[in-house]
Structure 1
Amino acid sequence: MCPPADTIKKDNTSTLKALVAFFGLTTVGLLAATIALAVQNGNSSDAPSSSSSSAQATTSVDYLQLKSSSSFFSTPNKDNVCAGAKLALDNKLCADLEVAPQAGANITKGYIGGMDVGDIEPNTKAYFQSSMCPVNVHWHLGAEHYSVGEFDENGHGPHDGDAHVRHLATEEHAEVQDGYRCHHYDANDAKFTTPYNWQHCVGMEVGETYEVHWPHSAAGACGTVNQYQTPFYDGVFCNLPLETFQTLGAQDIASAVGVHGQVFTIVNDESYFYPDMIRGMIVDKEMGRDVSYYTGSTTGETRNNTMCSQYTPITWQVDRKCHMISASSFDKLCYDMKMQRDDMSDDLHAHGSRELVSDELAANNQYYVGNRMKKNLRV
């Protein structure tokens, strides 16, 4: 005979309550045991001390030391396929050259050079779109180019009034010729005057103006460990033997060899840090937007308006604006240069600046970026 339904319901309810109570007590017991075990382990002498944890967190790796003992870099001169690739073209009297436009020129918007270069045009594409890659990075003391209101004779720096030829910020290097300065410097602002503890760059100075150049070439060892070279000519001519070079026309060269140029004032302020300067012109926000395009030559203080470079015509793409950048950005760049297979130590300091190219030696094929298109100023 079956018990009454209400009796079954009461029995089931009692059983359920008992099970809930049992599992509840079991869970509480396990939780208490777990907490006790955790506390015991936390107090164990086997646990790492706070000092050892801190030591582990601050341990750093010396990558330059690792490079010096790496098998990949054990015979850099033998493995560097670009070493000695430079084609020697000595400077020559400008009067003895025919159509050989020079750099750095006036890049103020609206300026047109006085040398008629005919149909030769600068490469106005992004260099990577022409299978070109950066093969070097180096910089000059002051700006070699001239942009009114940005870097010109009215700019300022930590050595206003000094001679046009002066020492770098170290006695290890000889005097170099100074270029133009930007307008950012303020002697009453600490970010322009507070010294920086340089670890990798040589002879650099906070508050000073530098023009950075990134030579590019379609004949470089692009995408390989040999891509970056010092001198930069080795990178430019790495895969371009003399017999091939002699078959190229002026436009062929201008379309396949070019330089990015960008001018900076160094500040001791980490809000201006940029981590990857080795790749080329910085194109971000207002940087690398107002660009001048023209054909010119290689630069440096061994050239002037009497003695010209024969490495011409090559494309120049130069930012017309001067930008502030942190000293640490440059030091990181110098570190990256030290990590290349080729020895780039000769480019860890600023080079001298060429005097401004005269109108008659500057090409008349300037382009500028405006209204989202490139315009030829001759048109």
Structure 2
Amino acid sequence: MQTVRIIQFALVSLLAGFSTLGHAAEACVGFGPQTPRDIDSAVGTNPRAFSMAPSYQTMNLCNIHFHANAEHKAKDFSIYAGDGVNGGYQCNVSKSLSRAELKAPKVNHCKGIKPGDTIEVHWVHSSCDVKPGKGLGSCLSEQCANPDLRVETQVFTVVNDTNALDFADFSYAGNRAKGYHQAKALPSGTGEPVQFQGSTTGPSYTEATCSPLQVSWSVRPQCAKLDINSLSKWCENNVFEEDYAHGVRKLVTNPKLLSEIK
């Protein structure tokens, strides 16, 4: 695993250097489609294409994590939160919550998140025969260093309300289905997921420094309310060692860096 991580780090660093060498312009050159994006726009002219990963149900869940605010943009999460690692977008409903929903919980094990905040949760799936674990490295192995990757995505408004969705319903907790590591369930009732080809995300990437990894995305277009008490329990103890909100990558808008949504 250490060898895989070293190779991956070297590849990312090398390609990141090539992306800006001799190009002072905004967009990196020679990379495949990037993420995140406005999922309400199908426009994309990036020429590199790859096969979409299979259904998450025939892949192994390898990681679950969440970002502060939505990295993607859609009609239902379109309130601009600014630039920077905690920029991105907020759910429209986050501006019309009750006092009770916004009340601070007695206990909160999730760093960087409070009631009223928006989060984007990523359920990362790999074609490798791997077990769920910490970080992207859990999606690879010495025998499988170039897997198909699929990310199932849901944007939530976090509220202090036990009647809201319970994150335990979407956690892993050792669950297996038809031999694959799987979340117990994925969110439903938030619109038909928008599927497209893209990359990994996070604040280390920009339109000038692109991610070389190929990822199939499935992003649900509507927000849902999530009970912060249930998220706190998950942050307190999970196999992914996740207890904080990750930063966001600024929205990719250059059509040359986006795939066409078909």
Q: TM-score, normalised by structure 1?
A: 0.57
Give the equivalent residue in structure 1 for 2:195: 293
> What is the DSSP-based 3-state SS (H/G/I as helix, E as strand, rest coil) of the residue aligned with 2:107?
coil
**Cα distance in 2, alignment partners of residues 332 and 198 from structure 1:** 9
Task: Tell me, yes or no, if the aligned pair for 1:219 and 1:239 is still in contact at 8 Å.
Answer: no
Give the equivalent residue in structure 2 for 1:306: 208
**Cα distance in 2, alignment partners of residues 188 and 291 from structure 1:** 25
Taking the TM superposition and a 5 Å limit, the aligned residue runs for 1:102-121 are 102-108=34-40, 111-118=42-49, 120-121=50-51
> What is the DSSP-based 3-state SS (H/G/I as helix, E as strand, rest coil) of the residue aligned with 2:66?
strand
* Cα distance, 1:188–1:351 mapped onto 2, change above 3 Å: closer
Letter in 1 for 2:43: I
Taking the TM superposition and a 5 Å limit, the aligned residue runs for 1:230-249 are 230=134, 232-242=135-145, 245=146
Which one of 118, 130, 133 corresponds to residue 229 of structure 1?
133
* Cα distance, 1:107–1:121 mapped onto 2, change above 3 Å: farther
Give the equivalent residue in structure 1 for 2:161: 269
**Cα distance in 2, alignment partners of residues 104 and 292 from structure 1:** 12
Give the equivalent residue in structure 2 for 1:136: 63
Give the equivalent residue in structure 2 for 1:17: none
Shift of 1:270: 0.4
Give the equivalent residue in structure 2 for 1:328: 229
**Cα distance in 2, alignment partners of residues 186 and 177 from structure 1:** 18
**Cα distance in 1, alignment partners of residues 225 and 115 from structure 2:** 11
Task: Tell me, yes or no, if the aligned pair for 2:79 and 2:92 is still in contact at 8 Å.
Answer: no
Letter in 2 for 1:321: Q
Give the number of aligned pairs: 237
**Cα distance in 1, alignment partners of residues 223 and 184 from structure 2:** 12
Give the equivalent residue in structure 2 for 1:356: 251
Task: Tell me, yes or no, if the aligned pair for 1:135 and 1:220 is still in contact at 8 Å.
Answer: no
**Cα distance in 2, alignment partners of residues 262 and 122 from structure 1:** 19
Q: Which structure 2 segments of 5+ residues have no match?
A: 21-26, 173-182
Task: Tell me, yes or no, if the aligned pair for 1:122 and 1:295 is still in contact at 8 Å.
Answer: yes
* Cα distance, 1:198–1:239 mapped onto 2, change above 3 Å: farther
Task: Tell me, yes or no, if the aligned pair for 2:94 and 2:118 is still in contact at 8 Å.
Answer: no
Shift of 1:314: 1.4
Task: Tell me, yes or no, if the aligned pair for 2:28 and 2:207 is still in contact at 8 Å.
Answer: no
**Cα distance in 2, alignment partners of residues 277 and 320 from structure 1:** 18
Task: Tell me, yes or no, if the aligned pair for 2:69 and 2:90 is still in contact at 8 Å.
Answer: yes
Shift of 1:350: 0.7
Q: Does 1:126 align with 2:58?
A: no
Shift of 1:111: 1.9
Cα RMSD between the aligned structures?
2.5
Name the one with the larger helix percent: 1
Query: Identity over the aligned pairs, expressed in percent?
Result: 25
* Cα distance, 1:204–1:197 mapped onto 2, change above 3 Å: farther
**Cα distance in 2, alignment partners of residues 100 and 316 from structure 1:** 14
Give the equivalent residue in structure 1 for 2:116: 207
Which one of 88, 103, 108 corresponds to residue 194 of structure 1?
103
Shift of 1:284: 5.1
Task: Tell me, yes or no, if the aligned pair for 1:141 and 1:211 is still in contact at 8 Å.
Answer: yes
* Cα distance, 1:142–1:100 mapped onto 2, change above 3 Å: same
* Cα distance, 1:153–1:185 mapped onto 2, change above 3 Å: closer
Task: Tell me, yes or no, if the aligned pair for 1:201 and 1:349 is still in contact at 8 Å.
Answer: yes
CA offsets 1:22-61 (integer angstroms, 9 cap, x no match): xxxxxxxxxxxxxxxxxxxxxxxxxxxxxxxxxxxxxxxx
Give the equivalent residue in structure 1 for 2:127: 218
Q: Which structure 1 segments of 5+ residues have no match?
A: 1-81, 155-159, 166-175, 222-226, 246-252, 367-376
Shift of 1:185: 1.8
